[in-house]
Amino acid sequence: MSFKIAVFTAAVAAGTVLAGPKCPKTPDQCTDRTAPSQIRVAYAGDKAMAVSWNTKSQLAHPTVYYGKSQAKLNKIAQSQISTTYPTSSTYNNHVVLSDLDEDTLYYYKPACTNATYSFTTSRKAGKKTPFSFAMIGDMGTFGPDGLSTTVGQGAANPLKPGDLTTIQSLTSYKDSYDFIWHVGDIAYADSWLKEEKGNYITPYNTSDNGAEYDKILNEFYDQVEGLSSVKPYMVGPGNHEANCDNGSDLGICLPGQLNFTGYRHHWNMPSASSGGLENFWYSFDHGMVHFVMFNTETDFPNAPDEPGGEGAENAGPFAPTGAQLAWLKRDLASVDRKKTPWVVAAGHRPWYVSTEVCAECQAAFEPLLEEYGVDLVLHGHKHFYERHAAVANGTAQEIGDNPTAPWYVVNGAAGHYDGLDTPSTPYASTSRKVIVAYGWSLFTVHNCTHLSTQFILSSNNTVLDSATLVKDRKC
Ligand SMILES: *[C@@H]1O[C@H](CO)[C@@H](O)[C@H](O)[C@H]1NC(C)=O
Ligand SMILES: *[C@@H]1O[C@H](CO)[C@@H](O)[C@H](O)[C@H]1NC(C)=O
Ligand SMILES: *[C@@H]1O[C@H](CO)[C@@H](O)[C@H](O)[C@H]1NC(C)=O
Ligand SMILES: *[C@@H]1O[C@H](CO)[C@@H](O)[C@H](O)[C@H]1NC(C)=O
Ligand SMILES: *[C@@H]1O[C@H](CO)[C@@H](O)[C@H](O)[C@H]1NC(C)=O
Ligand SMILES: *[C@@H]1O[C@H](CO)[C@@H](O)[C@H](O)[C@H]1NC(C)=O
Ligand SMILES: CC(=O)N[C@H]1CO[C@H](CO)[C@@H](O)[C@@H]1O
């Protein structure tokens, strides 16, 4: 499925009845089945924002009203993108608002709600003001169908009574960052089978037509809505978007729950504006930084999805052979470092980490990240936090000392039913700090020479690690 973007935007006076061939279509009639839920926004290029939401029925004309004043949502944007897939109880609606000013607060609401939301558009590429972004990996759903204060058989590391969840922690820091980057393993709907087999939720039932998977998926999108409706929520693909079990099981899993199906429908990442592919690989600029998402699951030599590959996800490919790496090379080569001195890349599976590494990912991606002077590489997948040195093909360079190699940070510890992982000791020679606890990372881009990170322990919002990358260059 590739989304055919048919977007119509126009300025209208509030309350105007719109009609005629050049005018917006009449929005769908409002019923409980067209009421928006799970509202989420994402950067869509320099002057645009993607607004996505779900409804119980398909919409003919997904519609968003917006404007700079909360009292006057005097613009309208529409599309015809309202999609679903087998086993899904909802439709995914996508509209791009594309005539926006940079770094500007807008108010908006999808049709059929009285609630008004707001977002701030991306900082113009080259703008030198400091900013922060939040990074999470491997989060999933919280509560009775996900991570809670109890676990089933075979799972571990429940929350302690009174612990904040990562969603709650991110919410309390909401004014501190511009956007959230969730680098794979989003909803963990595929934990349904493990949770049933572990007697954590309803008895093991493979004849529910995928209802439990769909339930967990919907809970996730409901739970993050308070964040995703007001902060661009950027995502990348992880192995748990491909499976419907904790390892593809075609005997049990229904086709609608395999091969990244839900992931492809739910999100609208800025691949159109960056020559990327769907929600799999894309880039965007924000102030002093060029951000790049790459896909460690499919579409490169010996990728984990391939039969016999590390993950055997039985997924992909999504593009012709070589397309992803060719795109990554092109994208990195075209960065104007005068405008965006920093380049930050993310991919789900790590290759510098104190446990099994993704050697195939390293072989595919590291040479390009090194060649084009990427400053920082973010990974999830392993369920702990591990800050590394900057590393060039295994050789560490210290981050305070103007490294030429990319700095690596692994954080797949946002939460989820399955609990935390145990790193292997002795730690990798590139490792500088390990924390085995639920948390997320706050990155701050101070200026063109200093970029720092903090690890925030979700349970009580404390900062457990801080580090700063220092580059010797003229701003
Ligand atoms: C929005 O407000 C109007 C007027 O108060 C009301 O008639 C309508 O039911 C509300 N719609 C929703 C979706 O709450
Ligand atoms: C499994 O789910 C199906 C469909 O909802 C239901 O009819 C059946 O009773 C369930 N079986 C068990 C053992 O819960
Ligand atoms: C996954 O989906 C893509 C796109 O539809 C398709 O080309 C590919 O063959 C699918 N992979 C598998 C293993 O079904
Ligand atoms: C990386 O290091 C390994 C040995 O550790 C070497 O075989 C390989 O050629 C190096 N790769 C590059 C691109 O320098
Ligand atoms: C860049 O930011 C760092 C950290 O805030 C600060 O120490 C440094 O002086 C700044 N450099 C310039 C040139 O402003
Ligand atoms: C936060 O929790 C950690 C881990 O339980 C604990 O060590 C620390 O003292 C707590 N900090 C505060 C401020 O409560
Ligand atoms: C519930 C379930 O199928 N769990 C499987 C998850 O993956 C591990 C490792 O492959 C299996 O041992 C479990 O049976």
Q: Which two tokens stand for residue 475?
A: 């701003």
Q: Which atom of ligand 2 is nearest to the CA of 205?
A: 1
Range with the lowest mean pLDDT among 119-133, 247-261, 427-441? 247-261
State what percent of residues in the chain have pLDDT above 90.
Answer: 85
Other CB atoms within a 10 A radius of the CB of residue 425 amount to: 8
CA distance 278 to 276: 7
Residue 283's pLDDT band, with cuts at 50, 70 and 90, is very high
Question: Does residue 243 have its Cβ closer than 6 Å to ligand 3?
Answer: no
Cα 451 to ligand 5 centroid, rounded to whole Å: 9
pLDDT at 248 > cutoff 60: no
Residue 1's pLDDT band, with cuts at 50, 70 and 90, is very low
**Bond preceding residue 426 cis, omega within 30 of 0:** yes
CATH superfamily of 5-120: Purple acid phosphatase-like, N-terminal (2.60.40.380)
Question: Does residue 371 have its Cβ closer than 6 Å to ligand 4?
Answer: no
Question: Does residue 394 have its Cβ closer than 6 Å to ligand 4?
Answer: yes
Nearest residue to 345 (alpha-carbon basis) of 273, 405, 302, 428: 405
Residue 205's pLDDT band, with cuts at 50, 70 and 90, is confident
Question: Does residue 425 have its Cβ closer than 6 Å to ligand 4?
Answer: no
Question: Does residue 263 have its Cβ closer than 6 Å to ligand 3?
Answer: no
- What is the H or E stretch that residue 74 is in? none
CA distance 470 to 475: 13
Q: Using the structure block, give the residue that is written with the tokens 């590494």.
A: 357
**Bond preceding residue 317 cis, omega within 30 of 0:** yes
pLDDT at 303: 92
Mean pLDDT of 458-472: 98
Q: Which amino acid is at 395?
A: T
Burial group, residue 146, by CB count within 10 angstroms (0-12, 13-18, 19+) = buried
Other CB atoms within a 10 A radius of the CB of residue 338 amount to: 8
Nearest alpha carbon, ligand 5 atom 12: 447
Secondary structure letter of residue 328 according to DSSP: H
- Which regions of the chain carry the CATH code 2.60.40.380? 5-120
Q: 16: Cβ–Cβ under 8 A, 6 or more apart, which residues?
A: none
Mean pLDDT of 385-401: 98
Residues with CB under 6 A from ligand 6: 457, 459-460, 462
Range with the lowest mean pLDDT among 104-108, 207-211, 267-271, 279-283? 207-211
CA distance 43 to 284: 8
pLDDT at 13: 35
Three-state secondary-structure class, residue 424: coil
Mean pLDDT of 243-269: 83
Mean pLDDT of 46-54: 96
Number of the ligand closest to the Cα of 241: 3
Nearest alpha carbon, ligand 7 atom 5: 246
Give the DSSP per-residue string, 4-15: ----EEEE--TT
For the chain, the average pLDDT equals 92
Give the predicted TM-score (pTM) of the model: 0.94
Counting ligand 6 atoms within 8 A of each CB, the residue from 169, 456, 457 with the most, and so the one to mutate, is 457
Cα 366 to ligand 4 centroid, rounded to whole Å: 11
Residue 307's pLDDT band, with cuts at 50, 70 and 90, is low
Residue 249's pLDDT band, with cuts at 50, 70 and 90, is low
Q: Using the structure block, give the residue that is written with the tokens 């599976």.
A: 349
pLDDT at 400 > cutoff 50: yes
Mean pLDDT of 79-88: 97
**Tens of pLDDT along 407-444?**
999 999 999 998 999 999 999 999 999 999 999 999 99
- What's the CATH class of domain 131-470? alpha beta
pLDDT at 32 > cutoff 50: yes
- Which regions of the chain carry the CATH code 3.60.21.10? 131-470
pLDDT at 247 > cutoff 90: no
Cα 392 to ligand 4 centroid, rounded to whole Å: 9
- C-alpha distances out from residue 36 to 56, 62, 288, Å: 9, 10, 35
pLDDT at 306: 65
Nearest residue to 121 (alpha-carbon basis) of 286, 271, 264, 261: 286
CA distance 38 to 348: 24
Give the DSSP per-residue string, 386-451: EEEEEEETTEEE-TTS--SSPEEEEE--S--TT------SSPPTTEEEEE-SSEEEEEEE-SSSEE
Other CB atoms within a 10 A radius of the CB of residue 10 amount to: 13
CA distance 202 to 195: 8
